[in-house]
Amino acid sequence: MREIEGLIESGYKEVVLTGINIGDYQGTSEETLADLIQIVDALPGLERIRVSSIDPDEVNEQLAKTILEGRHTCHSMHIVLQSGSNVVLKKMNRKYTRQIFLETVENLKKARSDFTFTTDVIVGFPGETTGDFEATLEVMHEVNFAKVHMFPYSERKRTRAALFSDKIPSQIIQERKDIILREAERGAFNLRQQYVGKTMKVLTEDNGVGHTENFFKCSSSFKYPTE
């Protein structure tokens, strides 16, 4: 809280609450993440609060309600996908499933149709079949993410995944990476198209660039093409 108050005094209008397993946050008096957001939301001078990098199973009813009903909470969240395949998610030792991810997204969208999502995706995890990869593409197509952070699998020593024998060839990883990036741009474009002609509030950052509350990047320096 002291850190955020210092940022506000320095003129900052937006803060992002993030961390590793942020949904498991517990304060000194056993406050939950939802409790923390409510406390931050009451601070004068702050205009936006974002929650970033959270697993879908951690977005419980209390947290969803807090974000949906907050005064300054943005209707956009970075919810981690990693893979649309339950088989791959299990191998990654993830606590959630494809169904839990989609249900979390659906519940937030049902409450606010303008709610948007960003996510992380990993391609080429050991044992990822064509069907597993296509399952990820299906989720991307269904959600239309505002932005996708795509990571090709890279081996880390002394991890369980490093011991798997069914590694994916680098050429296939590169091909899947390119497909994901194209699908991510297609989905983001389709999402933005739904807002063409609408007036939205933008918090400007450097060089006239800024974001809407639901994380559309905007620029005041757009130039119309000339002949």
Q: Is 56 exposed, middle or buried (0-12, 13-18, 19+ CB in 10 A)?
A: buried
Instruction: Please report the sign of the dihedral spanned by the C-alpha atoms of residue 100, residue 104, residue 105, residue 111.
Output: positive
Q: What is the pLDDT of residues 131-144, one digit of tens each?
A: 999 999 999 999 99
159 with 104, same domain: the answer is yes
Q: Are residues 85 and 157 in the same domain?
A: yes
Find the domain containing 220 and state its range: 199-227
Same domain? For 218 and 164 the reply is no
Residues 213 and 131 in one domain: no
Does 87 map to a domain? yes
What length is written for the chain?
227
Is residue 24 situated within a structural domain?
A: no
Average pLDDT over residues 52-66: 95
Q: Which pairing describes strands 202-204 and 147-152: parallel, antiparallel, or unpaired?
A: unpaired
Contact 112, 68 (CB under 8 A): yes
Judge residue 49's burial from the number of C-beta atoms within 10 Å of its C-beta, 0-12 exposed, 13-18 middle, 19 or more buried.
Answer: buried
Look at residue 208 in the predicted model and tell me its pLDDT: 81
Q: Is residue 128 part of a domain?
A: yes
Give pLDDT, residue 39: 95
Per residue in 141-196, pLDDT (tens digit) is 999 999 999 999 988 787 777 778 889 999 999 999 999 999 999 999 999 999 99
Find the Cα–Cα–Cα–Cα dihedral 187, 18, 51, 132, rounded to 10°. 30
Cβ atoms < 10 Å from Cβ of 210: 17
Q: Does some domain include residue 25?
A: no
Same domain for 183 and 221?
Answer: no
pLDDT score recorded for residue 226: 56
Give alpha helix (H) positions in the chain.
2-9, 33-41, 61-69, 86-91, 98-111, 130-143, 170-193
What percent of the chain stands above pLDDT 70? Answer: 96
What pLDDT, on the 0 to 100 scale, is given for residue 92?
A: 94
CA 208/CA 206 separation, integer angstroms: 6
pTM of the model: 0.90
82: β partners: 121
3-state class of 212 per DSSP? strand
Q: What is the pLDDT of residues 67-96, one digit of tens each?
A: 999 999 999 999 999 999 999 999 999 999
The Cα 8–Cα 86 span in angstroms is 42
Residue 127 has pLDDT above 80, yes or no: yes
| Pair 131, 217 in one domain | no
| pLDDT number for residue 157 | 81
The pLDDT value given to residue 165 = 82
Our count of domains for the chain comes to: 2
Same domain, 185 and 205: no
Q: Residues 105, 183: one domain?
A: yes
Asked, for residue 15, whether it belongs to a domain, the answer is no
pLDDT bucket at 221, cuts 50 / 70 / 90: low
**pLDDT: is 155 or 13 the higher one?**
13
